[in-house]
Structures are given as C-alpha cells and as structure tokens.
Amino acid sequence: MSGTSAVIPAAGRGERFGRGSNKVFAEVAGKPILAHTLLAFEKCRMIDDIVLVVGKHEIIDARKIADTYGISKLRAVVAGGNHRQDSVENGLAVLDPSTHIVAVHDGARPLVRPETIVATIRAAEEFEAAVAAVPVIDTIKSADSDGFVASTLDRSNLWSIQTPQTFDKNLLESAYSEARKTGFYATDDAALVERLGHRVKLVMGCYDNIKITTPLDQDFMETRLNSMQINSMLRTGFGYDIHRFEEGRKLVLGGVEFPGEVGLEGHSDADVILHAIADALLGAAVLGDIGRHFPNTDPKYRGISSLVLLEHTAKLIADAGWKVANVDATLVAERPKIADKASEMQEKIAASLGVAPDQVSIKATTAEKLGDIGAGAGAACYAVAAIFRS
C-alpha cells in the first residue's frame, strides 16, 4: 500500500554548477547532495515510497547511494529525459497504482524540511494541488528588450516557487498527458496543472530550501546542512576526573606541559582535563568510559601521553558513526593558572580530535580554598561534549 509517493527528478546535467557532471552526485557536508535529499523524504513519516529519476548511466551509482544511506522507501530508480518535465513524466509512469498523492521534489534541493513536505501533502489532500513557496524579498521589475525597466511589479502578490509540488495523482497525470499532447513545456509541475484551469495552493516554505544551481550555493548549503545534521542527531556526554598532586612528577594539562609545577599522580600522564573530555565523548556515544578502553592495569598505558588516548577515543567515536561537534571543560584547581596556555591546549585537543580549535573550550576556576582541592591536594575537571551523526 502506498498512499503518498515522492518523485525526485535528479537527471539534470548541472551545467551552471560547472562540475562537468550531474551536481546531485557532488558531496556537500559529507554526503552526496542526492543522499541529503533522499534522507529528507526517508525521514518524513507521511511519505510511503520514493521514485528517483537520474541519468541513464547514473542508475547504478544512485542505487548505491540509496543503499549506503539506508533509503528503505526507494521504490524505483528510472532514467530521465532531456528536460526536467520529461524526467518527472518518466517517474510518474512507475508509481504504485495505489498512490493517490504525489510530491515532486528537485533532487538538487537537499535542504527541504520534513515539515514543508508534510504541509504540501496536507494542502494537496484538501486542494489537490499545492506548492511550497516564499514571498519574494527583492523588488521585481520587468525589462524591455533594450534592457530598461518596463514596469515595477507589485511585490505583495509575488511568490518564489520551490518544490515540493504536491498533487492528487490523477490531476497531475492529466496535466502531464495534456502537456505531452500539445508539446507544452514549463519550468515547474504546477504550471501544467494551472493550464488545466485548476487552482494551485501556495504553501509557506522556507527561504533556505534553495536549489543548488551555481558553485556559489555550495558554501551556504554546506553550512546549513551541517547545522541541520547537528540539530537532528545531536548527543551530549559528561565527564569528570580527579587526580592528586605528587612531588617528582611533571604536570601535563590539556596536552600542555607546565615546567616547574608539581605534577599529578596517575598511571598515564594523569592529564585530568583530557581524561574528563575523553569520558564526556565516550559517554555521548554510549561507549563506556576511559577505564574500560584504557585500563590502568595495562602496562602499555603507563606514562602514555593522554593526547594519544584522546586520539584513540576520537577514533572510537568516528567508528561508531559520530563526529565531534564541541567540547567544553572546566578545570578546578588552586594552581597553576592556565589562562596563558588555554589556546595551546585548545589547539592540541582539537588536533587530536580532528576538529577546529573553536570547537574546543578550556576554562578553569579555583575551589576558593574549600575542601581538598581548595587545600591544593589535587585537581579535578568537568567536561561536556556534543557529537553528531555524520
């Protein structure tokens, strides 16, 4: 049973993108653009199945992408035609007979949100035809053939049209067959339905649901997709560690040595900051704690630099499919003052984790002479970390 289907035309040549091949296969924010788009529909609970349209020679690659990213709703991958309209028509031809609503969405719009897809489906159930759109921001003027302004249009009535464009299947099929009969081509699906004299409902979309068209769109998309991924699959973890000071040992905090300062006692280099961070990361990924991964009974960890342990922790996190979003740690100690070395620590930690220094924050406070830490017996550290699925 498939009530609501998506048809995703992705068979263009991406000429304006200038990559020399279909832009939807380009990687942005760690995945092919097409994967981001497919995942948006996979995650949308109101979509039952997906028909993907790509170039004839891209079918195998497209199937691989769908497999890699677990697109369980994929019904068919078919070859497109010369124009977008031909590609959509080829997709419509293989819909399940039980489909009654079809959402057509450009493969090159990976930023679409599930809420927008749902809003067009609900509107199509009521009005038979609905498109995602946003009010235009710029003033729009028409031009004459000499390149002068012919008129200024009334902006209050103007909308930029996006996809999804969602329709009652019978209505959309009639519109496509009428267009085919008369050789009519338009730049979107709604225009074919409008031509039948049918009303099309405008549904408020999002300004960031852009179609990747030129290389200039790539940076914007990279940033937006990264933050959407972070928002949708974010986990946090907490870590704590404490060590006592011991004469005769060197002091290492956040991967940085403090010559002349009394060190901390421990099996490794006793870097209390890195231990708290590693525990926060492992906790976020539900991978246990550093004691489990780096037992202090194992001679191979004796005196080891905790940067090595942190690097190994980063690998465990990555193997489990996570990327580090940020870490934040607070050292609690009466001494030493770390402010001068905090940025060096941030750089070292970031390098071990494979992230940028501005994803790492290191702070410190004293215990105001309260308790054992306040008496200078040792140092403790609290850390939180956030990780996201990549």
Contact call for residues 352 and 345 (beta carbons, < 8 A) = no
- CB nearer to ligand CTP: give 36 or 84: 84
Q: How far is the CB of 80 from ligand CTP (least distance, A)?
A: 4
Q: Please give the order of strands across the beta sheet that includes 74-79.
A: 74-79, 49-54, 4-9, 101-104, 159-168, 129-135, 201-204
Instruction: Compute how many other C-beta atoms are within 10 angstroms of the C-beta atom of residue 26.
Output: 18
- CB nearer to ligand CTP: give 116 or 306: 116
The residues that touch ligand CTP, with contacts defined as CB under 6 A, are: 9-17, 23-24, 53, 80-84, 87, 106-108, 211, 213
Q: How far is the CB of 81 from Mg ion (least distance, A)?
A: 12
CA 110 from centroid of its chain's CA atoms: 10
Q: How far is the CB of 12 from Mg ion (least distance, A)?
A: 5
Residues β-bridged to residue 332: 365, 380
- CB nearer to ligand CTP: give 176 or 294: 176
- Find the residue with minimal CB distance to ligand CTP: 12
- CB nearer to ligand CTP: give 2 or 213: 213
- CB nearer to ligand CTP: give 53 or 353: 53
Q: How far is the CB of 94 from Mg ion (least distance, A)?
A: 22
Give the three-class secondary structure for 250.
strand
The number of residues that bind Mg ion (CB under 5 A) is 1
Q: How far is the CB of 212 from Mg ion (least distance, A)?
A: 12
Instruction: List the x/- string, 264-293, binding to Mg ion by CB under 5 A.
Output: ------------------------------
Q: How far is the CB of 163 from ligand CTP (least distance, A)?
A: 8
In sequence order, what are the residues at sequence separation of 6 or more whose Cβ sits closer than 8 angstroms to the Cβ of residue 38? 8, 50, 52, 65, 66, 69, 71, 74
Contact call for residues 245 and 334 (beta carbons, < 8 A) = no
The Cα 385–Cα 228 span in angstroms is 18
The Cα 62–Cα 35 span in angstroms is 9
Instruction: List the x/- string, 8-37, binding to Mg ion by CB under 5 A.
Output: ----x-------------------------
DSSP assignment of 74-139, as one string?
A: EEEEEE--SSHHHHHHHHHTTS-TT--EEEE--TT-TT--HHHHHHHHHHHHHHSEEEEEEE--S-
Q: Which does 213 bind (CB under 5 to 8 A by kind): ligand CTP, Mg ion, none?
A: ligand CTP
- CB nearer to ligand CTP: give 167 or 382: 167
Q: Can you give the binding site for Mg ion, defined by CB under 5 A?
A: 12
